[in-house]
Amino acid sequence: MDGNGRWAKAHHVPRVMGHNAGMESMKKIVIASSKLGVKYLTVYAFSTENWKRSAEEVGGIFKLIVKYVNSELEELDENNVHINIMGDYSMLPRESVAAIDKMVARLEHNDGLVFNIALNYGGRDEILRSVKELYQEIENGNKTIDELTEDDISAHLYSGSEHLNIPDPDLIIRTSGEERTSNFLPWQAAYSELMFTDTLWPDFTPEEYAEMIEKFSHRNRRFGGREEDDK
């Protein structure tokens, strides 16, 4: 969800106001996802690299998390949305952690749209975490190195943990004109389709979102094989 800062600069307002506008856009996309029949939606809310930003901006983002939970929790529950957190959010301020815990617990048993929020998330960090856990299993004698498979690594990622089991993404969209994935789901995105738009995230509309999903539906996905094999 890229472009909040540039949106704020273009509108001559503080960066935190750009993040607030981005939050409003995210709410619209969550609703649109449910209407379009999207089963899994994952948003990159805060990366492990975002700590490098100013304390004022980072603090503002965390306050917005609390604001979002307080204002949207009832509607999310009414719409049967289930929320997962991908990343180690224990490092966030206590108020933010409490709000997130409250939200996850309240929506735990919903079985509608699965809304995954990547929070204090980094793809390389996630893979390193997986490798460390697998190394510990080998050290404990529960597995040998020759027994390791790609499925073992996947199972130890945030998305593959037993209580989440989130499938790999079919489509990854990045806004604001940047054409890179920036440490977002590098393992899971091996065969994801990629789309980029110059639209800044606060200006990204459900209509543009639906248009991109429509274009995606016509792509020929081969997963490394020949077209006649994968048809």
Does the active-site annotation cover 165?
A: no
Which of helix, strand or coil describes residue 204? coil
Per DSSP, the residues of 56-111 read: HHHHHHHHHHHHHHHHHHHHHHHTT-EEEEES-GGGS-HHHHHHHHHHHHHTTT--
Angstrom distance (rounded) from CA 95 to CA 97: 6
Point out the catalytic residue in the list 50, 79, 110, 183.
Answer: 50
Residues 6+ apart with CB under 8 A from 124: 183, 186
Examine the residue annotation and report whether 170 is marked as an active-site residue of this protein.
no
Query: Residue 191 to residues 3, 40, 217: CA-CA distances in angstroms?
Result: 25, 16, 15
Which residue among 2, 20, 116, 120 is the active-site one?
2
DSSP 8-state secondary structure symbol assigned to residue 182? T
List the one residue out of 131, 42, 130, 150 whose CA is nearest residue 86: 42
Closest CA to 117 of 91, 84, 89: 84
Question: Which residue's structure tokens are 């945030």?
Answer: 158
List active site positions: 2, 50
